[in-house]
Chains A and B, each alone.
Chain A
C-alpha cells in the first residue's frame, strides 16, 4: 500500500488560481486526483499511457449534445416520424463512436522527458515534455495541462514524437514540485474529454528574482573590498565594450565612447587577468535576506555574463569559483534553496 497521498493546498481544478477548498466541486476534484495518484503510483520516465489509466468524461458540450438528442427523440416520437428517428439514432451512434475514438486517441501515447526549466521568481517556469505516438494511426489535438495551465495542441502522425510545454506561474524562489501532469484530448468533436494523469518525479528550481538596482559586485581582482575601481590595474586587460545593464558601476562606463553614440557603453575586462571574484553575502550592507538574495542573484548573472570565474559564499554554502552555465545554475540553485526557500515556489 502506498501511503495516503494528499496534495498540498491549492492543487485543484478551477479557471485561474487555486480555488478555495470549501468549494465542493474543487474538493471532489481534489479527492479524485488523489485517488488517481494512489491508484497509479509514481511514474518513471518514459510513461506509456495504457488504456486503463486514460479516463474519459463528457464535456459540457457533450452533455448539451445529449440533451439535443433527447429533444430530437421526443420530436421524432411526437410526430411519429421514422426519418426523425433515423437522424436521432445516427447522431447517437456518432456520439458513441466518438467516445471510443476520443479514448483511443490518447491511450498508448508515450510521454517522456519531463523537466521544468529554471526560472526567476515571478517569471513563468516552463514545464516541458515530449509525446510519442507508437501506433500506426495518427493522433490529434493532444494537450498538456498542469496546475490549470494548458499547452498548445499537438498532432502526431504514426511513429512521430513532439514537444509540448506549459508556462507555470511562479511567485517566489524555491522548489517547484510538479505533483501531477495531465495529458488531455477532446478530439474529435469536443463531446468527450479523455485524459491521463502522470506523476513523474519532476521538480523545478525557481531562482530569486534578480535585483533591479544592485550595488556593484565586489571584485576579487582590480576592484577592492570597498568596491572602488582601481583604474591603474586592469587597463591592459580591457576586452571590449558592452551595453549598459542596470547595476553597472558608473566608473566602468566608457564616457568617451558614450559621447559618440546613444548607448552607454561599459568597459569589459578579461576575467582571467582579473582573478576570481567572490560574491559574498557578507559584503552587502545590512538588508533583509530576500533582498540580499536578489542582489546576489543579479551579481551571479552579471558575473556569468561578464565571462569571469566567480565563487559564491552564503551562510551554510560555499561554492568555489568556476565558470559556465552549470556553475551559474549551481550558484542560483543555492540562492533559490537558501533557508526559507524550501517551500513551494508557487506561493
Chain B
C-alpha cells in the first residue's frame, strides 16, 4: 500500500475539496486558485520527496494571502471576507502540514468551511451535503490522528458512520430543544444586496419588470382558513411617497408615529415564511393587525417591517383585516407628502388630471374617471415597454408610447391623482401567488412582483387602486402569463405548460416549503409547540434544557449499552455451552470435573463411579467430542441430539 503519510494527506485533501466545492464558485478566483495550488504543491512535496517550503517563504505567502483578502474585500469582518480568509489560511496550513497536529488543525478548518457555506446559503441539498462533508472530514481526521497505519477505507467509513448513527439523534434532540437565544450579540455587517434579488425601496420605470424574470420564491403562506381570492391577494411591501418625476422612493425618515387604523370585518390568519432578502421589510396582506414576531413593527404606511434585515428564513403568524379603515383622519404631514409633485415635470399629465377633476364632483368620481381614461385609451400591458426619455417620462408614457408594465401604470396614476389634489402614493409588493396543493401553501415568487396605487378618500381612508387591473384585468385575476399579449412569455413558463413537469415542480416546491418551514424557519414558537405536543404545555427555556438533557442522556445510555455489548466476549459455541450445562448438573451431584480432566477421562471416571450413568454420559460425551473435535459432519442432527440428551439428563 502507499505511504501512510500520502494516504493521510490524500484523505484530508479529498475531504477539504468536498467541503470547499460549493464555496469555490463563490470565492474570488484567486483564492480558489491559491488553495488548489497549495494542495498540488503539498502533494508534490509528498510524492517526490521534496522539502516543505521554508519558513520565510511560508511567512511571505501568508502575509501576501492576508493582504490579498484585505484588498479583495476591504475588510476582514463579515461572512464573505471571513470565509475568504479561512480558505487562504487553510491553504497556508497545507504548506506546513507534516505532523498529526497539522492534520487536526486542517480538519477544524474544514468544519469551519462547512459552517461558512451553511451560513451563506441553506438550500435543501445543504443537509445531505452537510452530512457528507462532515463524514468525509471526520474520516480524514480519524486517519490523520491514528497511531498506526491508516485503516482500510471500508472499515474506517463503517466506524465513522456508526458513530454518526449515535451523533445524529443527539444532534436532532439538540436542534429541536436547544433554547434559541435571539441574536445577534454583535453588529453584523449586512450582506447587503449582493446576490439577492427582490424589491428595492425605490421604483423607476423598469425596476419591477426586471424582477419578473426571476422565478425565485419570495415567501410562502399557509392560511388557517380558506384562501382569499386572487384579486384580494395584495402583499404589501415598501410604500413609496417621494417622487422626482422619474423615480419613486421612500422618504429618508419614515414618520414613526403610531399608525392609526380601525380594524373591522372578517380577518385572515396565516403564517408567512419569508426567504432571506437582505432588507428589513416583511410582507403581509392588507391590513395587518396582529403578528407573532416581537421584532416586527407596523409603519404608519401600514407596512410590516423588522428592526434587522431578513438575513435568514423568517416565519411569522399574521392576522390581517382586509376591510379595516386605515388612517380615517389624514395627518397633515402625510397629506403634504402624498400630494407632493416635482415642479415643472410631466405638465401634460398634470393638465389632464386637472381637466378630469374639474369634470367630476368628487375625488371618488375622479378615480373612476382616471381609470376609465386608462381603459378607453389604447394602453398595452407589456414586459417590453419602449424606452422613456428622462425629461417627462410620465407624459411620454401617457400620451406617446402607451405601453408599459405595472410600475408605469402605478406611477402615472399616482401622478394623476396628486395633480388632481387627491392624496396618493405608490405601493410595491407582490400580487397573487400560486397555490401548491401538495404543500397547501401559497407560493409567491419574484415574478409576482407588482406595483399599485393608494389614494386617500374622506371617510374611507386609504383605498387601493390598481390601474394595471384596468388595462389587463387578467393580471390580477389569474397570472402574469394570462395578461401578457400574444407572443410574449413569462421566462421559464414554457416548462410549466407540460402537465407532468408541473406536478414535478409542485412536488419540489412542497419539499422546499417543508424544508423552510420545519428546518430553516424552526424557532422558539415551534419549540414550545413541540413541547406542548410532548405533554409539557406551559414550557419555558428551563423545560427545554431539562428535556434536552434527558433525551441526550437516554441516547448516551443506549450508546453505552451498545458499546458494552460489543465488548463482551463472543458467545461460546452451542456445543460447549451444552456440555458446560451437563457438567454443572453432574457437579450438583458431587461429580465435579477436574480442570485437567479431558471429556473422555471424565466420562470414564463417571462410568466407574456411577455405572448407572455410564451410558448417558458416554453418549453425551461422544456427541460433544464429535461436534467439537470431529471432522466437518452434518452438525444439525448431532446438535439436536446433544440438545435433547443434555435436557433429558437428570443424574
Contact = CB atoms under 8 A, between A and B. Distances in A.
A84 interface: yes
Given A79-B188, A86-B175, A155-B148, A93 B166 contact: yes
A61 interface: yes
A91 B134 contact: yes
A67 to B, nearest CB: 10
Contacts of B146: 140-141, 153, 187
Contact of B312 (A81, A101, A158): A81
Contact of B522 (A82, A89, A189): A82
B142 interface: yes
A87 interface: yes
B126 A83 contact: yes
Contacts of B145: 61, 186, 189-190
B108 A65 contact: yes
B182 A80 contact: yes
A97 B520 contact: no
B522 A97 contact: no
Given A89-B175, A108-B567, A79 B186 contact: no
Interface string B492-527: 000000000000000000000000000111100000
Main secondary structure of the interface of A (DSSP, over half): helix
B519 A82 contact: yes
Given A61-B104, A188-B142, A79 B311 contact: yes
Interface in B234-291: none
Contacts of B543: none
A84 B118 contact: yes
Contact of B130 (A65, A83, A135): A83
B468 interface: no
B148 A188 contact: no
Contacts of A68: 108, 111-112
Contacts of B167: 90-91, 93-94, 96-97
A188 B148 CA distance: 12
Main secondary structure of the interface of B (DSSP, over half): helix
A80 B148 contact: no
B134 A87 contact: yes
Interface stretch (A18-26, A70-78, A329-337): A70-78
Contacts of B520: 82-83
A80 B118 contact: no
B311 A96 contact: no
Contacts of B312: 79-82
A108 B570 CA distance: 13
Nearest to B174: A89
B21 interface: no
A75 B119 contact: yes
B100 interface: yes
Interface stretch (B195-203, B329-337, B556-564, B605-613): B556-564
Contacts of B559: 97, 100
Contact of A89 (B159, B171, B566): B171
Contacts of B170: 89, 92-93, 96-97
Nearest to B145: A190
Interface string B111-133: 11011001100100011001100
Interface residues of A, number: 52
Contact of A90 (B148, B168, B180): B168
A136 B568 CA distance: 6
B524 to A, nearest CB: 11
A223 interface: no
A91 B133 CA distance: 12
Interface residues of B, number: 64
B82 to A, nearest CB: 9
A78 B522 CA distance: 15
Given A97-B170, A134-B569, A72 B104 contact: no
Contact of A96 (B115, B122, B127, B556): B556
A137 interface: yes
B48 interface: no
A178 B563 CA distance: 32
A113 to B, nearest CB: 20
Contact of B138 (A108, A134, A137, A189): A189
Contacts of A72: 111-112, 115
Interface in B66-115: 79, 100-101, 104, 108, 111-112, 114-115
B570 A93 contact: no
B552 interface: yes
A130 interface: no
Contacts of B311: 79-80
Given A82-B175, A92-B171, A104-B567, A190 B163 contact: no
B512 to A, nearest CB: 14
Given A81-B118, A140-B146, A190 B567 contact: no
B183 interface: yes
Nearest to A106: B567
Interface of A: 61, 64-65, 68, 72, 74-94, 96-98, 100-101, 104, 107-108, 134-137, 140-141, 143, 152-155, 158-159, 186-190
11 contacts: A76-B115, A78-B185, A80-B312, A82-B522, A91-B167, A93-B166, A100-B556, A137-B563, A140-B146, A140-B147, A189-B138
Interface of B: 79, 100-101, 104, 108, 111-112, 114-115, 118-119, 122, 126-127, 130-131, 134, 138, 141-142, 145-148, 151, 159, 163-164, 166-172, 174-175, 178, 180-186, 188, 311-313, 519-522, 552, 556, 559-560, 563-564, 566-570
Which 8 A-B pairs rank lowest in CB-CB distance, beginning with the nearest?
A153-B147, A93-B170, A93-B167, A135-B567, A89-B174, A190-B145, A137-B566, A89-B171
